Structure 1
Amino acid sequence: MSQDKTPVSFSDLKLAPALLKALEDVGYEQPSPIQAQSIPPLLEGRDILGQAQTGTGKTAAFALPLLSRLDLRRREPQVLVLAPTRELAIQVAEAFKTYARHLKDFHVLPIYGGQSYEIQLRQLRRGVHVVVGTPGRVMDHMRKGKLKLDNLQALVLDEADEMLRMGFIDDVEWVLEQTPDDRQIALFSATMPAEIRKVSQKYLNNPEIIRVAQKTATADTIRQRYWPVSGLHKLDALTRILQAETYDAMLVFVRTKTATVELAEKLEARGHACEALNGDIPQNMRERIVERLRNGQLDILVATDVVARGLDVRRISHVINYDIPTDVEAYIHRIGRTGRAGKTGDAILFVAPREKRLLKAIEKTIRRPIDPMQMPTAKDINQYRIQRFKQRIRDNLSDQKNEFFYQLLTEVQQEESAEPLEIAAALAGLLQGDEPLLMSEKEYKPAREERKGRNEYKEGKRSPRRSKEGGSTRALPLKGHPEVEMKRFRLDVGYQHEVKPGNIVGAIANEADLDSKYIGHIEIYEDYTTIDLPAGMPNETFAALKKTHVCQQRLNIRVLDEKSDAGDRKVLTTRARSEARVNARSKSHGKTKERKRNTASGKKKAPTPKKPGKKKRATRSGETK
């Protein structure tokens, strides 16, 4: 087992000069423990089994040595990285690009659900050296013969325990079985459950075992909070923070350069002194922007991680993680821009439902809980607006220019026979302009009123309406999250296709990038399924789900229409289920023979869903009946 000993610098690790130059560009000087221990054996071609938390620098630990061993003359996949989510796949692919910036003609491709197949196929045809993808989409390309791994040199399983938790472990094993026997494997996992140990014992060859404890923490001068917020409402959430928090200057972190510009423009349109700060902006202009923040001409900067590295402005009282970082060390660096030189600071983290695991990883690494924020009410926001308006008046009371206005208003008072307070109120209204100072309760609704559950409707009150055939036309409240507005959708896959709730949950969670706990009630019918999902899904997500296949059936998701779908809404009777099962068996009889022939000839087949139990009703609303 490797010892926790860190060399002086990356140059001690015998990395290629082009990689060392890239590390110097991004400001990396000393390798983290996981990097110091993983890079040497990976450079030697050995398998490794690494146990380390998110944020310890795992990506560089495997990317740097594997880049060193690439043959750039061969435009074919030599490295495959499997990641549990598309966010992590994108992040890992971006890291490869960063480290390989001085390697000529290097190509990396992230492949994941929710993106067009054609875009990914086009890049695969052109040739890539590294592929980073989610298990499901990688399998799709492999089964279609578009992703060929005959000459694969190395395979990385990143966050293996998370892939196990999300139900991808069978897919991971299938991919492993399709790769050459002599490929190198690096498996990283924050925890080491029994299933992951079995995979390592089965597929890894005498691996180097590495365990690293994370030692970094955050300053006690920084108050850390998180706000559970949907991606659809992030801008509203940030706007309310700006209205309810007392801040001097604010640094808002997003993931991409484009996002810095888009968000800065939206905040500026809402009346805030705001600028974007990203790598596309020339260095001299960046320096001017930072100077404007320092001297009070700007109050808000929207930035990416790279350009904010080393930023030191004492005015920064708040750091907003608008996009949650997937690297814990990046989180620590971000919030370190406030609470400096003995001052206190505030760090607020926006956490979408699917990002709760990242929140837990951050808390575990910094060894302290991050408290949830309370959504400010209209009363809270109005109180803050009133105090700010009063302060503007106080700040102007001692202004020397007031002598002229004092004389002018005295004349107005005499001419109009008005009381001083009447004139002051008129001037206050003139100062405020057309925008109302106070927010109305109707204008501000932080969340839907908690709705009653299925068993909480009082006698005489209407519950969600059901048709005579038993199918509900209205979404049920989401268990544990009654504030989330749900909508009922129809999917073109049903019992006759041998689908189970787990198949549907896995596909939607992956393609829509939605935490499974936000997938509501599922009812499976003979040839279709109804499912409750959060309302307001982005159009691109909806389009991706339409094209998603489950049990070889295209979902073709659409909002459940009471009129057009009413005739089909019949839950399967016992006899109908039996007939559907027989029909499904007869359809798959030929496929079974083919599968046996393939097995006999040495071909490997992708895992298929198990058939549903005999008398279990295929539903999902907290449990299987």
Structure 2
Amino acid sequence: MSTFEELGLSPEICQAVNDLGFKTPTEVQQRAIPTILASQRDLVALAQTGTGKTGAFGMPVLQQVDANSDNVQVLVLSPTRELAIQIEKDLKDFSRHQKGIRTLAVYGGTSIGSQISALKRGVQVVIGTPGRMLDLIKRGKLDVTNVRSLVLDEADEMLNMGFQDDLDAILHDTPKEKQTLLFSATMPNQISKIARKYMNNPEEIQVSARNSGALNVEHHYYMVQARDRYDALKRVVDVNPDIYGIIFCRTRRETSDIAASLAKDGYDVDWLNGDLSQSQRDDVMNRFRTGELQLLVATDVAARGLDVDSLTHVINYNLPDDLEVYIHRSGRTGRAGNSGISISIINTREKNKIRALEKMSGKDFIKQDVPSGKEVCGVRMMDMVEKLRTTEVNEKQIEKYLPEVYERLSDLGWQDLIKHFVSMEFNQILEYYEQAGDINASAGKSNKKNKRNSSNKGSRNSGGRSNSRSAEEGFTRYFLNVGGRDGLNPARLMGVVNEQMNGKKPDFGKIDIQNNFSFFEVEEGFDSKLFDSMNGSKFEGREIAVELAKPDTNGASSSNNNNGSSSKRSGKGKRKSKGKEPFAKSSGGRIKKKRKADVYA
């Protein structure tokens, strides 16, 4: 095993690496650093997320910077703001003992003026997203004519995000005589084209298998009917009380819908997608990194650059369309010597995707049964008991209250006292899961037992899909002209309603998603507000119509409401959850409408 000194790195950089606590270089660092230092030959490095890529290109290019010149000598292009910020932080750390080295991260969603001012003062290393970097070049504020090293980090993701034209423009403006370093987890055709067009006979190194996953990660999957996906997610989270993880969704809308549902159910959760401003993204990420948030619901793009070593789980609420993205997702856990679990919730038509992932990654995917309500209750109860047992007692703090407490509880024996305590803590969770059915599904078969729990009418997650024709007491039943074929599910339905309605949001009762239409219940007293805000708005391009549901003998429903007004509304805020279930930690999630950022998804 080589040392950093043996790789040819300067004493200043080796000292910085030692300060950071790194003892031995990773495989990609061992292979890339000597190549970059030994010649000006271009390099294509294929390595997965979390393998030390930033150090592999960062340390050698910093060593080659002329600190006596204020010219921009190194460009590092990254797909997202978060990753650009993370790379700049790492490069600052690596160069802490090199005098005169200045770095700058440039990205959208923040003032371009401050970035221009920093460029005027002189920097040698610029890290940024393609859109902002090209903008600065076109304005004449970023001079790239003296660039010696050009790094394309996570190049496959930049292409996936549609940055091909921007990359072409930036690369075209840089000198032909430079060293180009391309780092990517995969080698799609577009990357090969860039290598052929802009690189000169590049050397290629590949760390481990091109599409393999992290060694410390177990891969599990749960198979349910599509309509039971959120219920399965909730049970998986409930049965892992100490979970600290990311839930990956396909779309921005889905992230906010799922996060809103989990927040209503009491979890410390927030969401991360391209609709957030930079300050909002920073706030979410800081709270997640510090453990204030237990769960983060994110799109693939938004989670780039989120470097957290202690994640216990990654949950794929939906498998990605491009299965190679799964490798990126699963690599977010099982880092820095820790173990992790990557979970996928699939429907009965996605079994072939699991087989493809097994072949791609060379890993076995373990089929797990979605836990029953009884299993969830048992795990949560024993977790609570263990925390109670290990709670440190500070007698000085409580001693003045103990005599009255003893007196009030004197008529209860210790067994009765335990029963009272358990009942107080768990009546609601036991009631919630009392009628929870088996939602496991078998591929190719209809699972008639897949019924959601309908006992908890105030729950944000569908609260049941019974075909009962009358609303529960205190709730009103509505007909909606959008159904499963439009991509509607309970979480998205609730997200749409809450997004369109101003002010106080209703609690939901039963939700029944059919193929072409749906029924849903909300607490009484919201008729006018619901009709006014929902009718005329759109879901996936289809105009929404909401009516009071009126049962008839044929089981059909609804007549038009007489509330003729309708208006399209947008930008309504999502509320912060007030209530919380007893089986969650706390309701910490800020769920509210965010301003769309000016760069990327």
Q: Structure 2 length normalisation: TM-score?
A: 0.52
Q: Shift of the alpha carbon at 1:142? A: 1.9
- How far, CA to CA, are the matches of 2:571 and 2:413 in structure 1? 54
- How far, CA to CA, are the matches of 1:394 and 1:191 in structure 2? 49
Q: Shift of the alpha carbon at 1:160? A: 2.0
Verify: 1:446 aligned to 2:441, yes or no: no
- The change in CA–CA distance for 1:24 and 1:451 in structure 2 (over 3 A counts) is farther
Q: Shift of the alpha carbon at 1:155? A: 1.1
Verify: 1:66 aligned to 2:95, yes or no: no
Q: Equivalent residue of 1:199, what SS? A: helix
- The change in CA–CA distance for 1:66 and 1:382 in structure 2 (over 3 A counts) is same
Verify: 1:91 aligned to 2:60, yes or no: no
Superposition pairs for residues 370-409 of structure 1, below 5 Å? 382-384=377-379, 386=381
- The change in CA–CA distance for 1:155 and 1:431 in structure 2 (over 3 A counts) is same
Query: Which of the numbers 491, 494, 503 marks the counterpart of 1:483?
Result: 491
Verify: 1:210 aligned to 2:205, yes or no: yes
Verify: 1:171 aligned to 2:172, yes or no: no
- The change in CA–CA distance for 1:328 and 1:522 in structure 2 (over 3 A counts) is same
CA contact (8 A) 1:520 1:531 kept: no
Query: Which of the numbers 247, 251, 259 marks the counterpart of 1:228?
Result: 247
Superposition pairs for residues 250-289 of structure 1, below 5 Å? 259-261=288-290, 263=292
Q: Which residue of 2 aligns with 1:542?
A: 594
CA contact (8 A) 2:49 2:332 kept: no
- The change in CA–CA distance for 1:142 and 1:371 in structure 2 (over 3 A counts) is farther
- How far, CA to CA, are the matches of 1:103 and 1:393 in structure 2? 52
Superposition pairs for residues 69-148 of structure 1, below 5 Å? 69-148=64-143
Count of matched residue positions in the alignment of Structure 1 and Structure 2: 400
Verify: 1:17 aligned to 2:30, yes or no: no
Letter matched to residue 492 of structure 2: V
- The change in CA–CA distance for 1:28 and 1:350 in structure 2 (over 3 A counts) is farther
CA contact (8 A) 2:214 2:330 kept: no
CA contact (8 A) 2:308 2:332 kept: no
- How far, CA to CA, are the matches of 1:535 and 1:156 in structure 2? 40
Q: Equivalent residue of 2:200, what SS? A: coil
- How far, CA to CA, are the matches of 2:571 and 2:409 in structure 1? 65
CA contact (8 A) 1:39 1:61 kept: yes
Superposition pairs for residues 21-60 of structure 1, below 5 Å? 21-43=15-37, 44-60=39-55
Once the two structures are superposed, residues 103-145 of structure 1 have per-residue CA deviations (whole angstroms, 9 ceiling, x without a partner) of 2343322223333434433433433322222222222222222
Highest CA radius of gyration, 1 or 2?
1
Q: Which residue of 2 aligns with 1:188?
A: 183
Q: Which residue of 2 aligns with 1:585?
A: none
Verify: 1:333 aligned to 2:327, yes or no: no
CA contact (8 A) 1:228 1:372 kept: no
- How far, CA to CA, are the matches of 2:466 and 2:165 in structure 1? 38
- How far, CA to CA, are the matches of 1:388 and 1:61 in structure 2? 43
- How far, CA to CA, are the matches of 1:123 and 1:373 in structure 2? 53
Once the two structures are superposed, residues 250-279 of structure 1 have per-residue CA deviations (whole angstroms, 9 ceiling, x without a partner) of xxxx99776555618x99xxxxxxxxxxxx
Once the two structures are superposed, residues 414-463 of structure 1 have per-residue CA deviations (whole angstroms, 9 ceiling, x without a partner) of xxxxxxxx8779845875798774245245433587899xxxxxxx9652
**Higher relative contact order (Cα pairs below 8 Å, separated by 6+ residues):** 2
- The change in CA–CA distance for 1:462 and 1:111 in structure 2 (over 3 A counts) is same
Q: Shift of the alpha carbon at 1:395? A: 11
Superposition pairs for residues 299-314 of structure 1, below 5 Å? 305=309
Q: Shift of the alpha carbon at 1:65? A: 1.0
- The change in CA–CA distance for 1:237 and 1:483 in structure 2 (over 3 A counts) is closer
Once the two structures are superposed, residues 150-189 of structure 1 have per-residue CA deviations (whole angstroms, 9 ceiling, x without a partner) of 2222111122222222221122111111112222211223
Verify: 1:463 aligned to 2:481, yes or no: yes
- The change in CA–CA distance for 1:136 and 1:463 in structure 2 (over 3 A counts) is same
Q: Equivalent residue of 1:155, what SS? A: strand
Q: Equivalent residue of 1:23, what SS? A: helix
Letter matched to residue 363 of structure 2: R
Q: Shift of the alpha carbon at 1:58? A: 2.2
Contiguous gaps of at least 5 residues in structure 2: 222-244, 249-254, 270-282, 296-306, 317-325, 346-353, 392-402, 433-455, 468-477, 501-537, 543-567, 576-589
Identity level (%): 30
Q: Structure 1 length normalisation: TM-score?
A: 0.50
Q: Equivalent residue of 2:45, what SS? A: strand
Once the two structures are superposed, residues 358-404 of structure 1 have per-residue CA deviations (whole angstroms, 9 ceiling, x without a partner) of x99x99997436679998898765554555677899999xxxxxxxx
Q: Equivalent residue of 1:188, what SS? A: strand
Superposition pairs for residues 325-364 of structure 1, below 5 Å? 331-334=333-336, 336-337=337-338, 347-348=340-341
CA contact (8 A) 2:2 2:30 kept: no
CA contact (8 A) 1:155 1:184 kept: yes
Once the two structures are superposed, residues 185-232 of structure 1 have per-residue CA deviations (whole angstroms, 9 ceiling, x without a partner) of 112233333332222122112222323324885458x78687636474
Letter matched to residue 595 of structure 2: A
State the Cα RMSD in Å. Answer: 5.7
- How far, CA to CA, are the matches of 1:196 and 1:393 in structure 2? 55
Q: Equivalent residue of 1:543, what SS? A: coil
- The change in CA–CA distance for 1:329 and 1:385 in structure 2 (over 3 A counts) is closer
Per mean C-alpha deviation after superposition, the further-off stretch among 71-80 and 147-156 is 71-80
CA contact (8 A) 2:381 2:426 kept: no
CA contact (8 A) 1:217 1:366 kept: no
Q: Which residue of 1 aligns with 2:192?
A: 197
- The change in CA–CA distance for 1:161 and 1:435 in structure 2 (over 3 A counts) is same
**Between structures 1 and 2, the one with greater helix share:** 1
CA contact (8 A) 1:79 1:153 kept: yes
- How far, CA to CA, are the matches of 1:24 and 1:365 in structure 2? 36
Q: Equivalent residue of 1:12, what SS? A: coil
